Structures are given as structure tokens and as C-alpha cells.
Structure 1
Amino acid sequence: MILASAVLLGIAAVWSLAAGLLMQDLGIRFRQALLYMPFRLVYRIRDEAMRDARKSDAPVIYVVSHQSRLEPALMLSLLPDQTLHILDEASARSHWLEPWRELGRTIAFNAEHVFVSRRLVRVLRGKGRLAVYIPDTVEPDVKSFRLFRAIARIAMQADARIVPVYVSGTRFLPFSLTPPERAPRSWFPRLTIAALAPMTVAELLQRAGYQRSNTTNALFDRVAEARLAGTDLDRGIFYGMCDAAERFGASRPIIEDVVGGVLSYRMVMTGARLLGTRFQKLAAPGEPVGVMLPNTNGVVLTLLGLISSARVAAMVNYTAGPASVASAVKTAEIRTIVSSRAFVEKADLADVVAAIEQAGAHIIWLEDLRDSVSQKEKIAALLQWHRPLMPQDASKPAVILFTSGSEGTPKAVVLSHRNIVANVMQAEARISISPEDKLFNVLPVFHSFGLTGGTFLPLLTGVRLFLYPSPLHYKLIPDVARKVRPTIMFGTDTFLSAYARTAEDGDFSSLRFVVAGAEPVRQETRRTWRERYGAEIIEGYGLTEAAPVVAVNTATHSRDGTVGRLLPGLRMRLEEVEGVSDGGQLWLNGPNLMMGYMTADKPGVLQPLEGWHDTGDIVSVDREGFITIKGRAKRFAKIAGEMVSLGAVEIMAQALWPEQHHAAVAVPDKRRGERIVLVTTAADAKADKLRLYGKQAGAAELMVPQDIIKVVELPVLGSGKTDYVAARRMAMTQLGLAA
């Protein structure tokens, strides 16, 4: 009895001492520290952000993302005791939460009582503090979105600062509010509390970089930023994969292709480690290694093998032609390229291989690497699948991608591990995805959309991935989709419209939505997919330099004709462009922006991006924050001193001939500097018809093309974008201007 009492007294003394230290560290009361201590020990909580959050000057509203039953206990333990916590009914009645409710002031949530009365505004004006718990959802329904509107209104009336708080990891706890099939349960995940700097609603509007009257969207965007801040970007791609394997299960099937079958996280990482040991012998750490492979399981293993061995994956665009591939090899100073004999033979890439070798690079065949692996090595790799071969540094280059070269020699875009992981998390904070989903990726991995969105995003978020080797198999892809039953698909307007022409009504019926980028989505394409398959096309906007996603429409925020709203964590500004009254040239800044370029005139030399990046795109932004692409700055024709958007000309032609494809290009004109030529697949296209339609639509006369070139098919890049260089060349040739 005496011994037991002594042990209990010892535990109490240690507990009190630890609580005292915690009280000093976080600035909380002793009783708060006593009740917070078990959470901190069990969940190894990173809580540094709460020190500054507590010091926020009143009046202040702490907007807490409510993911589990744990958040109220954590916030009652960590926020100042004079904070008024507005709890949901379950938390207000819960017996286990009683000791924590005694730490502060609480009231039960009632929409009519809380957000209609003026009580909360009076509390805040009296230098008060509120903690409001909002449902954690990426795409909130109408009811949930009303809470954002109410909080923003209260903050405006009381001139209160807002501090978003997000506890990363709680949605996977056994007492999570998210259904288990969407968030696998874990008893002891490590938790991280993210709390952003206090800002008033007026300050949130000002920092957006454009005029916006919607205070609700400003708050919604800020809360999404807290979600992003809760992600440890320094974990990088490899450890991000390990975290996903631990969270969703190492045996969970994660990737599949038409030949290699299904692979689990463990199998993927084991294969990557085996290949990584070979890559260590082929190149030095940090050296770029070319990857010329189609969308198969093998390309994923190769990418992760290079990452594990601290080599940089340089994605070769084999559809760009021998000259562009040779230029890319020289620009990035690639000495070794990994490819497949079977792929080269099927894709008829002998001329590309010859250009690579002539440029000084050596090709290593994946088949040879696979055959060289011994049974002993396989066992060793299986035992150490979760360990990288080399130390990982998220600030170092991970991938090199090449621009299309449509405006000159292709540039090498260098992306770090942080850039890619940040963009994955930004997309996850905007679009609702879960382990229940299956993503069907037909976009090539040498394209940034196919690499980050179509490959790394599902791998890091537990979404099953089905890889298809070519987006050009218009007749086969619908049949594969019918068998695979994906819920998400990525594509471009060109590819999606082609699939719709050959597909049967039930082929894509399993899809929840389709994410489209790289080129504008035509209304005809959108209507077809909506009516025939019940799938919404979510249009977005990106660029290789941004890894690539910049903006996207969502279920909550969607507007046809726009590319959506900016992702969380990104900032933008518009600079004036001569001759463009509605809009400006878009500049971006954010964690997903590239490390820098390598160019042909300085091969192998990273030219770092410093500060803001000029996208070269001219856009307009409405009051809700929706972005409309006017066109590339270099895709404007200057006719008699006036700037005319070639993209706007295409939209006009599309409205007149909706089922056809069109490309507007500018060619030299002796009298007016430039003139517009329409290259189109519309067999009945006539200039007088277009002129009459333009006049009726109120288009300026300068916008109407004087020349129309009819083609059977528009030239397309491997990424699915229109090849404007080739289209302009066709126009120049037919008009006799090529010389």
C-alpha cells in the first residue's frame, strides 16, 4: 500500500512538473497544461503555432476546422481561458469532454441563436475572443457555406481578426467525423496544429491582389490555406509516399496498368528501391536522368527509384520530334536516359533514339535492369522498402519538365520535391477526393498535368491510379473505362471530345467528374459529357512552371467559361497590357512555383526564379475571384495598332461551328502589321458567314479573320494542346507567305 502510494505520488509529481514546463512553454494555465499533457504525449503534437495564436490581439475569431471529437478538447486546452467556444450539440453534451469544458466559456451551437443575434458582435467589441468550429469539408454544401458567410459578417461588424486553425491528422482518428471509407482509422497518428497569422476581413480582401467584394470567399480561401499549412512539405515525395502507405495500408492496391496488373504500396516501393540501386551506378547524386516511358507501372517505379536514389527525373517528351528531344537532352545536360525496347518499337521511336544518341546521351533499357536483379536483392529491397537509398532533401530538384517549345526552343523547368508536394496538397484542399476514388490517367507523364495531377496526386492521397499508355487511342479508351470503372479522369478538350465521338453511353457512367486543362473547354464538349455520362467537366488552369495547377473550378465554386479560382497558398497580381482594358498580364507567387529554368544558351545551369513569375497569360478576374483566360500575351495580334486576342477569335468561331476545332493564328501583313487567319476543320466555313456572325455578336471588325484555311484535322501536341506553330506554318504555306 505504501509502495503504491509512493508510485502514485511520484507519477503525480512528474506529471505536475511536466505540466509546469508545458505551461511556461505555451503560455497556458496550469490546469490547461494538466489536461493537455496526455494528448501531447500520445499524439506527439507539434503545437508551436499556438503560441502566436494565443497572443493575437482581441477582438479575434479562431476558426477551427472540425474534423473529429478531439478539436474542442485541444482548443479548450490551448486557447486563452476567456475565449467563448461555440460547440456543436454533441460536444456540448458529451460526458468525456466535461473536464475540458470547465477550462473555458462554452455555448451550444444553434444557428438561429448564434448567427442572427448580435450577442457575438457585442462580445467581440468588448475585446472578446470566439472559437468557432466549422465542418471540415473541401467542397462545403450550402448549409456549411452559410457558416463562412456568417463568420465573415460578424468579423466585419466587430472589426475582428480571424485566425484559422487546422489540426492535421485528426480526420484519421477513431473518433473522426469523416466516414471510415474516406479516411482510414489510425489510433495514434502524429498531429500538427497549424494556425495562421491574424488578419481582418478587409486585410484578406486586400491581399488577394484583385478587387473582390465577396468576404465569404475571402474567409473560405484563408481557411483552405490553414489546411495547406498543416502539411509538412519538407517530407518530400518519398516520405510522402511512406506516410500514405502507413495511413492507407502498405498492402493497399494503388497503381494498375493494362499489362503489369495491380501493385500495392509495398510492391511499388520495393520495385523503386531495386531500380534505384541501378540508377546509383548510372549517374551521380543530383544528376538528371532522362525518362522516356509511357503511362505504365514501370514509369512510376522509375520515377520513385530516381527519387529514392537522389537523382533527378528528366521527363522526355518523345512526341515532340527528334530535334526537340535532342535540344532537351543538351539543355538539361542529360547523359543517361531510361527507356523500354518494347515501347520504342511499338511507338516507332527509332528516329528519336538516334537523335538522343547523337546528342550525346546513352539509353538504358528497363528490360535489362529488370533482368539483372537477383533473388537476394529482391528480398533485401522488400525488407527495406520504406527506406530511401539516399538522404532526401525536399528543397532539391526532383523533376525536370520541358516546355512545348511553341514560343521558341524548349526550356527545362526544374521542380523541387516541395513544389510538387505543395501542388498536390493545394489540389487536395480544393477538390474532394478520397481512397474510394479511382483515377484514370491517359495524359502522358512528360506533361506536368499528367505527372503531378495524374500520378503523384493519387499516390500521395491514397486514390487508386489506373495508367493508360496513350491518350490517342480514341476507340480503345472508352472500352477500357467501361471495364475499369474510374470515378475521376483527367483530359483536354481535344481528347475528351474525341472519346465522346466513339464512346457508348455507359462507357464513362462511373465518373464523378473530369478535370480538364491545357486548352479551353468548349460548351459542346461540356454538354455532351454532362448529358450522356452525367459527368461534370471541371475546368482548370495551370502551367509547367507552377507544377502545374494554378486555378480550378469546384463543386462549391464553379462558373462555366472560367478556369475557376486560385488555389490556396498562391498569390497573384495583374499588370497592365497596352490595348487590353479588361484584364492584365498574370504574375504568380507561391510554394508550387518552380525553382527556375535551364535554357539552351546556358545548358545545365539553373537560373533561379526570384520572387514573382510572369505567366505570359492575359487574364481577367471577376468579383468572385473567377479567372478568365484572354490568351497568351504572345497570342495577341497587333493589327493597325490594336491588340486582338486570337483566343477570342477562336471562341467566336467555336460559337458558330460548335462541333469543329479551330485555331486562330497571326501572319504578317504589309499594310496593317499583322492579320488573322483561321485554321479550321469546319468544311463549310466561310469568311462572310463569320463576318456576319461577328457583327451580330458585337465583335470588332478587326477580330474577323480575312482568310480561312480548311483542314481535316488540327495539329496537336502530345499533351493534347493545339500545335499553333504547326498551324501557323500551314497557314503561311497555303497563303504563299512561307518564303
Structure 2
Amino acid sequence: MILTLALLAGLVAAWLLIGVVEKFRLGLRFTQALLYVPFKLAYRIADGRINIARNAAAPVIYVISHQSRLEPALMLSLLPEDTLHILDQASAKSPWLEPWRELGRTIAFNAEHIFVSRRLVRVLKGKGRLAVYLPDAVEPDIKTFRLFRAVTRIAMQADARIVPIFVAGARTLPVSLTPADKAPRRWFPRLSISVLEPMTIAELVARNPDQSSNTNALFDRFAEARLFGSDLNRGLFLAMRDAADRVGASHPIVEDVVSGTLNYRKLFIGARVLGRRFEAVTAPGEAVGVLLPNANGVVLSLIGLLSASRVAAMINYTAGRASVTAAVRTAEVRTVVSSRAFIDKANLADIVAAVEEGGAKLLWLEDVRASVTVLDKLAAALLWRWPLQPQNAAKPAVILFTSGSEGTPKAVVLSHRNLLVNAMQAEARITISPADILLNVLPVFHSFGLTGGTILPLVTGVKLFLYPSPLHYKLIPEVARKARPTLMFGTDTFLANYARTAKDGDFFSLRFIVAGAEAVKPETRRVYRERFQAEIIEGFGLTEASPVVAVNTAIHGRDGTVGRLLPAMRMKLEPVEGISGAGRLWLDGPNLMMGYMTSDRPGELQPLNGWHDTGDIVSVDREGFITIRGRAKRFAKIAGEMVSLGAVEMLVQSLWPEEHHAVVAVPDRRRGERIVLVTTADEAEPDELRKFGRQAGAADLMVPNDIVRVEEIPVLGSGKTDYVATRKLAIERLGLSAAA
């Protein structure tokens, strides 16, 4: 009895002592500190930024992501005592929350009246503080978005500052408001409180004046709190391992059509074995080429290189010999990881020769596997959770090569942080969970296929199904029927071809498809909606941005646009002579590349300083939805007038929607340039196109007089139209070689 009392007295004394420490450390009232101590100890809460919220000058509105039943208790313990908390009905009545409700002022949320605006404005104007708990919805429905409008209106009327708060890790608590299949439960996850600096609505809008309405500015800021709730300085290997900890090491994470399924544990064990071999033949920080298809082996190799602090240079084996040799030399690649079976099956002997011509040696996975001993496997099984080398998120992780759709490819150097930030920016915009299965047919040497199609699932616990070639138009629908993916990434060209060969039930499991790299044609969107009940949400990216820049969502979407800018990004539009209502897009953000490597200065990073010129001409509506008007290089100057070749393609597509078309500009002695249509439509005639153009209200300058009919439009490995090859083809067919 005495021992029990002594233990209890010791626990009480420790509780009081820790409470005193927390009181002075965070500036809390003593009762707040005492009720905060159990949370602090149980969840090892990283709370260093909470003082930003506590010290924010009134009037202020704390906008809190309500992921679990824990947030109200936490915020009542941590926010200033004069804060008025608007609680949901369950939190306002829950018996266990009674001690915490006594710490501050609370009122119950009235769903019928949203907020009593006048009363709350009076509270705030009196130097008050308000805590609003908004549903944890990456894609809020109309009813939820009304809450953002209400908060925005109140903040503007009271000239109040907004402080977003996100408790990272709360979704996995036993008291989470998210279904368990979408957020696996953990009893004592580590929590981290993300708090952003106070800003008024006017200040939020001013950060991106070209693209924000008042409510969207608040919504974007709220998404940033979610983004920065992740530890973006962990490095990719550690971020992937953290995901394994969240969803479980036995969670199936990668599958292909040959090797089967790997869970996180097996994935990391295999990656460590490969990483050891990579260490033996390369140096830390060295660029190591990866020449592999979409299969388990490419993921194992990528993680092995990351673990060993090597830089993965993703070789585009569809780019041709000259481009591959140039890529190897530009990135100073001395070793290229590949597979003999892949090279033989894909008939890539010429690409191997190009690699060797560039000065690199091949490291064959078959030879690596043959050299692995039982001791190697045992060591990897014991140590799979730890990287082989220290991880630094600021260091290069991957080198990608731009598509070269309009010129010579460039080497783009991306850091761990660039790639992780971009994956989490997408996660803060699109609703995904470990319950999803993602079918990725886009090659990993393509930035969209790497970040969205590979890294994003690995750091979020979404199961990844890899298919080796996007060109298998008849097989991929069958694979989708068997794999039952809920998500899919693709390009319009690929998606249109899959739809032509698919049976109605092949894509029945899809929730949505994310499309990028080229504009989605209305016909493609219609087919997937009507036949497969799958929504195509269009996005926009560039390799230099890791790559995603903007994306629509299933709820916040607008057909014909590429969506809204991702959280934490900024943009500005530079006027372009001859183009009204649009401008040249410049970008800034944490996902922007470290810099380029060029063929004239191989191996030397030329850092990006400040804003990046995308070369794209875009327009932006008042809600922030971006419409691509075309590449700056995809505008023709005809008799002094600027004409968008992309707009001409859309016009032609409307007339012959079942066919493929590409529009290019070729030299013209009299008018400077003229437009040529390259098409698979055998029936295409200039007179019919001119008649259709007049009916559509298109200017005569937009209608091509020259039509080149082909069986296929040249396409890059990424799925984009190869405009360099298409223009060359048009010039040859029209006998303009000398003029070009």
C-alpha cells in the first residue's frame, strides 16, 4: 500500500513538474499545461511552432483542420484562454472533453446557420480570437466550402488575421474521423503541429494576385498548413520508411506483371541489397544511370541508390542513340544499372551502345542478383529500416532529362526536397489513401511517371501497380480489369488509345484519372465519363517543377483548364506582344529544380536563381484556374499576327475528333511563317476546314492551307507529340528542306 501510494505520489509530482516546465516553455496557464502534459508525453508532440499562434496579434482566426476528436482538446490546452472555440456538436457534448472545455470559451456549431457572422465579427473587432474547426477534406464538397466562404467573410469584415493549424499524424489516431481503411490506426503516433504565420485575406490574395479569389486564397493557405505538416527535410528514403511505419511494413506497396507483389519490408530489404552493390562500384553523390522499364526492379534500384546517397539519372531509352549518349555525357554518368532481359526483349542493343559511347559501363541486375549471398540477405533483413548513407534532403536525388519536344533535351537536377515537396503538394490537393491502387503506365524516366506515378504512392502508402509500356493499347485495359486500380496516370494520347480497345468493364474500378503532358481532348473526357464513369482530372507540369504545377480535382475542377496552382507556389504573368488576355508564365516555389546541367559544362550544376521562365503562355480566371494557351515556341507569327498552334489543333480536333492531329509552323518567304496540319484523317481537306473555321468564328489566319496526311503522328516516349519530328516531316513532304 505504501509503495503504491509512493508511486502515485511520484507520478503526480512528475506530472506537476512537467506541467510547470510546459507552462513556462509555452506561456500557458498552469491548468492548461497540466491538461496538455498527457498528450505531450503520449504523442511526443512537436509543438515548437505553436507560439506563432499564441503570439498572433488580435483580431485573429485560428483555422484548424479537424481530423480527429483530439484537436479540440489540444487547441483548448494550447491556444490563448480568451479564444472562442466553435465546436462541432459531438465535441460540444462529449463527457471526456469536459475538463478541456473549461479551459476556454466554447460554443456549439450550428450547421443550419453556418456561422452567426455579426456576433463573431463583434467578438473579433473587440480584439478577440476565434478558433474554427474545418473538416479534414483535401477536396471539400460544396457544403464544406461554404465554411471557407463564411470564415473569409468574417475575417474581411473584422480585418482579422488568419492562422492555419494542422496536427500531422492525427488522422491515424484511434479517435480519427477518417475511416480506418483510408487511415490505418496507431495507438501512439508521433504528432507534429504545423502553424503558419498570421496573414490577412488581403495579404493572402496579394501573394498570387493573378490567380486568387478571396475564398480560394484562404483554401490555398489551409492546404499549405497540411503540406508543411510533413517533415519535408527527411529525404526520400526516410519519407518512404515513415510511410511504412504508418501503414505497416507488411502493407503491399509495389506490384508488376512479372515479379508479383512486394510489401514495404521486402522492398526495403531488396533495395538495401542492391544499394550495397551500388556502393561498391560508385562514389557518394555520383550520378548513376537507370535504364529500366516500369517494373519492381526500377523501384528497388531507385531506393537502393537513394539509400546509398547516389543520384539516379533516369535514362530515356526511347529518345534515340544521340540523345542517350548526350545525356550520359552531360550528367557525367560512369555506371548505368540495367537488365539484360529487358534489353533483349525491348531490342535496345543500340541504346546500350549509345551508353558505352557516352563513357559509361553497364551494371547488370542479373549479375548483381547472382552475387548476393545468404549473409547479404540476412544483414539486409535486420537493417532494412536504416539507410546505407546519411540522408540530406538538400542534396540531388534524381537527374531527369526534358522531353525535347521542341529542341535539345536538358538535364534537370532535382533534390530530395524538390521531389518530396511536389509529392506532398499533390497529396494536399487530391484525395488519396492507402486504400487506393495506382496503375502507372508512364515511364519512370518521365517526370510525371516518376514523381506522381512512383514517389507519391511510396510516400503515402498507396499501392503501386507498374506496367512496362504505355504503348500496349490492347493489353493495358485487360491489366486494369485484373488489377482493379482506383487511380491512373496517363496522357491524352495514351488514354484515347486505351478507350478504343477497352471493353466497357475494363476500367470499372477507377475513381479518377490524372492526365498531364498534353491537353485532354473533349472527346477523350466524354468517353471515359460515359463508358467507364471515370473522371479525368487534368493537370499541368514541367520537369523543372518536379513536375506538377497545377491540377484540377474531382470537385474543384473546370474542363478545358489545367486546374489551380499547387500550395506554396507563386506565379506571375509577363505580357507578350501580340497576345491579349494571357501572359508568359513564371514560377517560384519549393518544388522548383536545383538547376540544369548542360552539354557544354558536363557534371556542373548551374543553379536556378529566383523565378523560372516556363515558356508557356497561359490565362488565369478569377478563381485561379489556369488555361494553357500554348508554348511560346508554339505560336506562329503570320504577317505580324501571333497565332496559337495549340488553338488551331483544338479547332481541327473539333472537326475530326476521332483522328490525331499536330499543327506546326514552317517558313514562308512572303508572310514569315505558315501553318501546316499534319493529320491521320484521310478525308481532311482545306476547303472543309476553312468552312468549319468560319462557322466556329476562327480568324482566317488560324486555318491551315497545307495538309499533310500520315498514318501516325510522331510521339515521344512520354506520350507527347514529337513536334520536332513532325515539323521535319512536314517540311520534307512540302519540299521546303532548303527553306528550313
TM exceeding 0.5: yes
Residue of structure 1 in register with 2:563 after alignment: 564
Matched to 1:149, the amino acid is R
Q: TM-score, normalised by structure 1?
A: 0.98
Alpha-carbon deviation of 1:208? Answer: 1.6
Residue of structure 2 in register with 1:237 after alignment: 236
Tell me the distance in 2 between the aligned counterparts of 1:242 and 1:227: 20
SS at the partner of 2:299? helix
Alpha-carbon deviation of 1:15? Answer: 2.7
> Is this contact kept in 1: 2:23–2:29, CA < 8 A?
yes
SS at the partner of 1:111? coil
Matches within 5 A, 1:220-619: 220-619=219-618
Alpha-carbon deviation of 1:68? Answer: 0.4
> Is this contact kept in 2: 1:251–1:265, CA < 8 A?
yes
Matched to 1:374, the amino acid is T
Residue of structure 2 in register with 1:687 after alignment: 686
Question: Is there any run of 5+ residues in structure 2 with no aligned partner, and where?
Answer: none
Per-residue CA deviation, residues 93-121 of structure 1 (Å, 9 max, x unaligned), is 11111111111000111134551451111
Matched to 1:356, the amino acid is V
Matched to 2:423, the amino acid is V
Tell me the distance in 1 between the aligned counterparts of 2:52 and 2:7: 37
Tell me the distance in 1 between the aligned counterparts of 2:211 and 2:556: 18
> Is this contact kept in 2: 1:409–1:600, CA < 8 A?
no
Alpha-carbon deviation of 1:541? Answer: 0.4
Matched to 1:664, the amino acid is V
Tell me the distance in 2 between the aligned counterparts of 1:384 and 1:462: 21
Tell me the distance in 1 between the aligned counterparts of 2:563 and 2:522: 16
Tell me the distance in 2 between the aligned counterparts of 1:4 and 1:538: 62
> Is this contact kept in 2: 1:114–1:120, CA < 8 A?
no
> Is this contact kept in 2: 1:291–1:315, CA < 8 A?
yes
Assess, with a 3 A threshold, how the Cα gap between structure 1 residues 113 and 482 changes in structure 2: closer, same or farther. Answer: closer
Tell me the distance in 2 between the aligned counterparts of 1:606 and 1:319: 25
Tell me the distance in 1 between the aligned counterparts of 2:685 and 2:196: 57
Matching of residue 40 in structure 1 with residue 44 in structure 2: no
Alpha-carbon deviation of 1:718? Answer: 0.2
Matched to 1:401, the amino acid is L
Alpha-carbon deviation of 1:410? Answer: 1.4
SS at the partner of 2:580? strand
Aligned length: 738
Matching of residue 719 in structure 1 with residue 721 in structure 2: no
Matches within 5 A, 1:17-36: 17-36=17-36
SS at the partner of 2:391? coil
Alpha-carbon deviation of 1:215? Answer: 2.0
Tell me the distance in 2 between the aligned counterparts of 1:510 and 1:25: 51
Tell me the distance in 1 between the aligned counterparts of 2:555 and 2:685: 41
Alpha-carbon deviation of 1:37? Answer: 1.1
SS at the partner of 2:184? coil
Per-residue CA deviation, residues 493-545 of structure 1 (Å, 9 max, x unaligned), is 10011111111111111111111100000011111111111111111101111
Residue of structure 1 in register with 2:729 after alignment: 730
> Is this contact kept in 1: 2:405–2:716, CA < 8 A?
no
Alpha-carbon deviation of 1:10? Answer: 4.2
SS at the partner of 1:64? strand
Matches within 5 A, 1:102-141: 102-113=102-113, 115-141=115-141
Structure 1 consecutive aligned stretches of length 4 or more whose deviation exceeds 6 Å:
none
Residue of structure 2 in register with 1:704 after alignment: 703
Matching of residue 656 in structure 1 with residue 655 in structure 2: yes
Tell me the distance in 2 between the aligned counterparts of 1:482 and 1:274: 34
Tell me the distance in 1 between the aligned counterparts of 2:128 and 2:635: 54
Tell me the distance in 1 between the aligned counterparts of 2:13 and 2:637: 80
SS at the partner of 1:581? coil
Tell me the distance in 1 between the aligned counterparts of 2:713 and 2:154: 54
Alpha-carbon deviation of 1:7? Answer: 4.7
SS at the partner of 1:48? coil
Alpha-carbon deviation of 1:442? Answer: 0.6
Shifted more, 651-660 versus 402-411: the winner is: 402-411
Q: TM-score, normalised by structure 2?
A: 0.98
SS at the partner of 2:581? strand
Matching of residue 672 in structure 1 with residue 671 in structure 2: yes
Tell me the distance in 2 between the aligned counterparts of 1:495 and 1:133: 42
Per-residue CA deviation, residues 167-224 of structure 1 (Å, 9 max, x unaligned), is 0000100010001011000011111101111111111111123154x32212111100
Matched to 1:215, the amino acid is N
> Is this contact kept in 2: 1:401–1:412, CA < 8 A?
yes
Residue of structure 1 in register with 2:12 after alignment: 12
> Is this contact kept in 1: 2:412–2:543, CA < 8 A?
yes
Alpha-carbon deviation of 1:407? Answer: 3.2
Tell me the distance in 2 between the aligned counterparts of 1:441 and 1:373: 30
> Is this contact kept in 1: 2:211–2:625, CA < 8 A?
no
SS at the partner of 1:668? strand
Per-residue CA deviation, residues 258-305 of structure 1 (Å, 9 max, x unaligned), is 100111100000000000000001210000000000000000000000
Shifted more, 723-732 versus 147-156: the winner is: 147-156
Residue of structure 2 in register with 1:154 after alignment: 154
Per-residue CA deviation, residues 369-409 of structure 1 (Å, 9 max, x unaligned), is 11110111111101111111111111100000001223332
Alpha-carbon deviation of 1:20? Answer: 2.0
> Is this contact kept in 2: 1:570–1:588, CA < 8 A?
yes
Matched to 1:520, the amino acid is A
SS at the partner of 1:99? helix
> Is this contact kept in 2: 1:209–1:571, CA < 8 A?
no
Assess, with a 3 A threshold, how the Cα gap between structure 1 residues 117 and 545 changes in structure 2: closer, same or farther. Answer: closer
Matched to 2:457, the amino acid is P
Matched to 1:708, the amino acid is I
Matched to 1:16, the amino acid is L
Residue of structure 1 in register with 2:176 after alignment: 176
SS at the partner of 1:100? helix
Matched to 2:386, the amino acid is R
Residue of structure 1 in register with 2:198 after alignment: 198
Shifted more, 153-162 versus 255-264: the winner is: 153-162
Alpha-carbon deviation of 1:17? Answer: 2.8
Matched to 2:517, the amino acid is A
> Is this contact kept in 1: 2:406–2:722, CA < 8 A?
no
Tell me the distance in 1 between the aligned counterparts of 2:40 and 2:264: 30
> Is this contact kept in 1: 2:114–2:147, CA < 8 A?
no
SS at the partner of 1:655? helix
Alpha-carbon deviation of 1:556? Answer: 2.0
Residue of structure 2 in register with 1:81 after alignment: 81
> Is this contact kept in 2: 1:492–1:516, CA < 8 A?
yes
Tell me the distance in 1 between the aligned counterparts of 2:149 and 2:254: 40
Tell me the distance in 1 between the aligned counterparts of 2:502 and 2:7: 73
Alpha-carbon deviation of 1:229? Answer: 1.1
Tell me the distance in 1 between the aligned counterparts of 2:211 and 2:394: 34
Alpha-carbon deviation of 1:9? Answer: 4.2
Tell me the distance in 2 between the aligned counterparts of 1:13 and 1:366: 60
Alpha-carbon deviation of 1:246? Answer: 0.9
Alpha-carbon deviation of 1:738? Answer: 1.4
Alpha-carbon deviation of 1:4? Answer: 5.2
Per-residue CA deviation, residues 237-272 of structure 1 (Å, 9 max, x unaligned), is 111111111111101111111100111100000000
Tell me the distance in 2 between the aligned counterparts of 1:14 and 1:227: 34
> Is this contact kept in 1: 2:405–2:721, CA < 8 A?
no
Alpha-carbon deviation of 1:227? Answer: 0.1
Alpha-carbon deviation of 1:6? Answer: 5.1
Alpha-carbon deviation of 1:143? Answer: 1.5
Tell me the distance in 2 between the aligned counterparts of 1:312 and 1:211: 36
SS at the partner of 1:451? helix
Tell me the distance in 2 between the aligned counterparts of 1:13 and 1:346: 71
Alpha-carbon deviation of 1:5? Answer: 5.0
